[in-house]
């Protein structure tokens, strides 16, 4: 990230503003530049609204705001994850608990058929194959780098509630098996990792 110069001693009480003008110009330029890092900047439609939130470091011991006037203080911050301590995960803290917002790594839904090649709604899924022709087994390949290692939590569900959906995972492939051989069952899955 950039280093923005700022002069905290201007305008000085006993100075003529013309003396402080060069430093005040530096401050104004820095304020404009730093504002534009994560926001739509000045003199633009929707100025002041967020474009993104940028973080330069992990937070190891975040502290909730202690403002006595704060109503239900909360913070969002990046910190090391459980499976990959070198890349940031996004957390949210409030007075009740800490929540890992970036734990959903992939999800999808598909309808059973003799063979499946497309997902209805998905995130971070590269491909799917399988079907009743493979004994009710489906292979779901995730995009590269979505999870680290093999330790994941998977929720898989047959919306018809007829039978359970079992799973195994060998990165990057989630295998769902025991899926109904009947066509038309809606199967959904979610992969979580800290």
In a shared domain, residues 87 and 120: no
Residue 131 has pLDDT above 90, yes or no: no
For the chain, how far is it from start to end, CA to CA, in angstroms? 26
Q: What is the pLDDT of residue 125?
A: 96
Long-range CB contacts for residues 6-11, cutoff 8 Å, separation at least 24? 6/30, 6/31
Q: What is the pLDDT of residue 174?
A: 97
Q: What is the DSSP string of 165-192?
A: -EEEEETTEEEEES--SSTT-EEEEEEE
In a shared domain, residues 74 and 118: no
In a shared domain, residues 24 and 76: no
Q: What is the pLDDT of residue 1?
A: 55
Of 101, 132, 164, the position where a domain reaches its end is 101
In a shared domain, residues 47 and 62: no
| pLDDT classification of 106: cutoffs 50, 70, 90 | very high
C-alpha dihedral over 120, 122, 128, 130, to 10 degrees? -50
In a shared domain, residues 4 and 42: yes
Domains in the chain, number: 3
HEC profile for 122-147? EECEEEEEEEHHHCCEEEEEECCCCC
Q: What is the pLDDT of residue 141?
A: 96
In a shared domain, residues 81 and 35: no
Residue 45, H or E segment: none
In a shared domain, residues 186 and 114: yes
Q: What is the mean pLDDT of residues 66-78?
A: 76
Q: Which domain holds residue 23?
A: 1-54
In a shared domain, residues 109 and 185: yes
In a shared domain, residues 137 and 87: no
| pLDDT classification of 44: cutoffs 50, 70, 90 | confident
In a shared domain, residues 93 and 134: no
Q: Which residue has the tokens 């633009």?
A: 44
- Strand order through the sheet with 88-93: 75-80, 88-93, 98-100
C-alpha to C-alpha distance for 31 and 58, rounded to whole angstroms: 24
Residue 88: strand pairing partners = 80
| pLDDT classification of 151: cutoffs 50, 70, 90 | very high
Residue 142 has pLDDT above 80, yes or no: yes
Q: How distant, in Å, are the alpha carbons of 13, 14, 21, 27, 29 from that of 17? A: 9, 9, 6, 14, 17
pTM as predicted? 0.76
């Amino acid at each position: 990230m950039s280093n923005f110069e700022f002069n905290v001693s201007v305008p000085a009480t006993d100075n003529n503003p013309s003396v402080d003008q060069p430093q005040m110009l530096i401050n104004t330029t820095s304020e404009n530049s730093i504002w534009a890092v994560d926001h739509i900047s000045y003199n633009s439609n929707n100025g002041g609204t967020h474009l993104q939130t940028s973080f330069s470091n992990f937070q190891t011991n975040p502290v909730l705001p202690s403002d006595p006037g704060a109503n239900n203080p909360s913070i969002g911050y990046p910190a090391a994850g459980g499976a990959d301590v070198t890349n940031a995960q996004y957390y949210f803290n409030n007075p009740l608990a800490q929540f890992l917002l970036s734990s959903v790594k992939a999800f999808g839904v598909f309808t059973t058929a003799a063979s499946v090649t497309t997902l209805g709604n998905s995130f971070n899924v590269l491909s799917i194959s399988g079907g009743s022709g493979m004994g009710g087994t489906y292979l779901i390949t995730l995009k590269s780098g979505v999870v680290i290692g093999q330790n994941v939590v998977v929720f898989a569900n047959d919306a018809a509630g007829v039978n359970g959906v079992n799973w195994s995972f060998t990165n990057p492939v989630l295998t769902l098996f025991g899926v109904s051989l009947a066509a038309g069952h809606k199967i959904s899955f979610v992969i979580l990792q800290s």
